[in-house]
Amino acid sequence: MRTARAVAAGLSLALTLGLVALGPAIADTEQDKDKIDSAVAAAGDDLQAANARVQAAIADLQQVRTLLPAAREELINARADAEVAQEADRAAQAELEQATAAAIRAEQERAEVEFQIQDLQSRVGNLAREVYQNGAFADFDLLITANTPTELADRAAAIDAVSRVNNQTLSQMAEIRAELALKEARLEVLRQQIDEKRQKAAIALAEANIARDRAAAAKLRVDLLVAQKATALDIASAERAKVLKQYKSVQAEQQRIAALLARQAAAEAARLASGGKLGYVPTQTDGFLWPIEGARVGQGVGSRIHPVYGYRSCHTGVDMGVPTGTPIRATAAGIVVINATGGPYGNHTLISHGNGIFSMYAHQSRFGAAEGKKVKKGEVIGYVGSTGYSTGPHLHFEIHVGGVPYDPLGWFGAEKEPVRC
């Protein structure tokens, strides 16, 4: 019993370290593959279109952004022109105020001249009345009626003085009238110049304000266009992210189906390598019982692609895909030497049948026979599960002779030979 346990322990360790279990072959149909391939192609087209939309949105955004510098420069220049026009308008306003003050002064001077003219007119009028009252020979009468030479000289001097005054008065009136006309002409010219300058300044200011408003509106339109294009880019990017997620999803499904088909192909290759024994229900031969009644062989021994990790490995037993909880029966009478858990095989049982022959039952959901128990052929020793490195509920069944794994089908009609990988 100790020897059997030692051999079994060594065999269990070898199984755990050197062998990997395989789940049942999963038969995804070619129709499923065609559907997912079509879905991947459609998603790829959608992703390509989404990428094109994103690139177009980026190009549009870059294009409208190139308009920003010119719009900014135009607005800056228009604002500067408006400031210059405002300054010119303020200067014109100041000149107008100065001209208005000058006009007021000119009006005052004209009023003074008018007063002087009125005064001179009054004096001339008095002189005219005096001449009229005294007659045309008044001056001669004054001279001949003088009583003394001194009186005669005084009267002559007086007459000469009056004459000079009259002449001066007439001359002053002419000068004042000429000066008044000149001032009025200058005032009119000044008013015209100020009015023209004021009008030009007002026009320049209005045009500058219009140009500034137009530049501001153009800048606003460019800003709105940039914002619109940026929003379009955000929308296109979000749509692309959504399409990319969908594409990755269907691509992952495509890869999963491809992996399953690869496993199917590997299983078919293993079936051919094992002499075409896969897929049939073995009958009892050579005193051994098939551990699950009516179960078909889904995966045989030999080199294969690991269904979980995807690398090539050596499959040292046969697999039977059946529902969880299906009873597992001892292939022959013997002693349960090991009920182990964990590792690649999950819950597995090792039975010694004597003469160095051991059978192993892996991936059980639970055990059906305790360690050390003697079991009969056909006695339930456990139940099917998917523990350990497994892709689904199945039984992994092995037979070892002298510590070497053999093809179990050798006890069910095939040639007995070690597993070759």
Assign residue 171 the CATH number of its domain.
1.10.287
Q: What does pLDDT average to over the chain?
A: 76
* Model pLDDT, residue 129: 66
Q: Would you state the structure tokens that stand for residue 11, as one six-digit string?
A: 């065999």
Tell whether the model's pLDDT for residue 14 goes beyond 70. Answer: no
Whether the CB-CB separation of 249 and 44 falls below 8 Å is answered with: no
Q: How far apart are alpha carbons 353 and 356 in whole angstroms?
A: 7
* Model pLDDT, residue 386: 92
Let me know if 101 is exposed, middle or buried by CB neighbors in 10 A (0-12, 13-18, 19+): exposed
- On whether both 19 and 79 belong to a single domain, the answer is no
- On whether both 232 and 248 belong to a single domain, the answer is yes
**Which H or E element spans position 363?**
strand 357-367
- On whether both 201 and 263 belong to a single domain, the answer is yes
Q: Supply the CATH number for residue 347's domain.
A: 2.70.70.10
- For residue 98, give the amino acid letter: Q
Pick from 40-49, 175-184, 193-202: least confident: 175-184
**Which H or E element spans position 360?**
strand 357-367
- 35 three-class SS: helix
- On whether both 20 and 89 belong to a single domain, the answer is no
* Model pLDDT, residue 309: 56
Of 271, 286, 313, which marks where a domain is finished? 271
Q: Which residue has the higher pLDDT, 272 or 101?
A: 101
Q: How far is CA 197 from CA 96, 104, 239, 315, in A?
A: 9, 19, 62, 106
Whether the CB-CB separation of 257 and 35 falls below 8 Å is answered with: no
- On whether both 258 and 313 belong to a single domain, the answer is no
Q: Would you state the structure tokens that stand for residue 267, as one six-digit string?
A: 């299983």
* Model pLDDT, residue 42: 87
- On whether both 177 and 198 belong to a single domain, the answer is yes
Q: Of the segments 55-59, 85-89, 123-127, 272-276, which one has the largest average pLDDT value?
A: 55-59
Of 220, 255, 271, which marks where a domain is finished? 271
- On whether both 310 and 361 belong to a single domain, the answer is yes
Tens of pLDDT, residues 388-404: 988 889 999 999 999 99
Let me know if 223 is exposed, middle or buried by CB neighbors in 10 A (0-12, 13-18, 19+): middle
> How far is C-alpha 49 from the geometric centre of its chain's CA atoms?
17
Nearest 5°: CA angle at 16, between 288 and 336?
40
Domain that holds residue 390: 2-24+298-411
Query: What is the Cα Rg of the chain in Å?
Result: 63
262, part of any domain: yes
171, part of any domain: yes
52, part of any domain: yes
Tens of pLDDT, residues 271-285: 555 444 445 566 556
* Model pLDDT, residue 176: 73
The residue assigned the tokens 């510590």 is: 403
Let me know if 123 is exposed, middle or buried by CB neighbors in 10 A (0-12, 13-18, 19+): middle
Q: How far apart are alpha carbons 85 and 104 in whole angstroms?
A: 28
Q: How many domains does the chain have?
A: 2
Q: Which residue has the higher pLDDT, 339 or 110?
A: 339
Pick from 250-254, 327-331, 367-371: least confident: 250-254
* Model pLDDT, residue 201: 74
Tell whether the model's pLDDT for residue 13 goes beyond 70. Answer: no
346, part of any domain: yes
- On whether both 72 and 191 belong to a single domain, the answer is yes
284, part of any domain: no
DSSP structure class, residue 376: -
Nearest alpha-carbon partner for 299 in 24, 28, 7, 69: 24
281, part of any domain: no
* Model pLDDT, residue 172: 72
- On whether both 49 and 198 belong to a single domain, the answer is yes
Tens of pLDDT, residues 340-360: 998 889 999 999 999 999 999
98, part of any domain: yes
- On whether both 106 and 142 belong to a single domain, the answer is yes
349, part of any domain: yes
Tell whether the model's pLDDT for residue 5 goes beyond 90. Answer: no
Tens of pLDDT, residues 200-227: 778 877 887 887 787 777 778 778 877 8
Proportion of the chain above pLDDT 70, given as a percent: 70
Whether the CB-CB separation of 264 and 321 falls below 8 Å is answered with: no
- On whether both 20 and 42 belong to a single domain, the answer is no
> What ranges make up the beta strands (E) of 179-259?
none
* Model pLDDT, residue 276: 47
Q: How many CA atoms lie within 13 A of 335 on its CB side?
A: 13
Proportion of the chain above pLDDT 90, given as a percent: 20
- On whether both 42 and 6 belong to a single domain, the answer is no
Tens of pLDDT, residues 123-170: 666 765 665 565 444 544 545 565 666 665 655 566 565 666 666 766
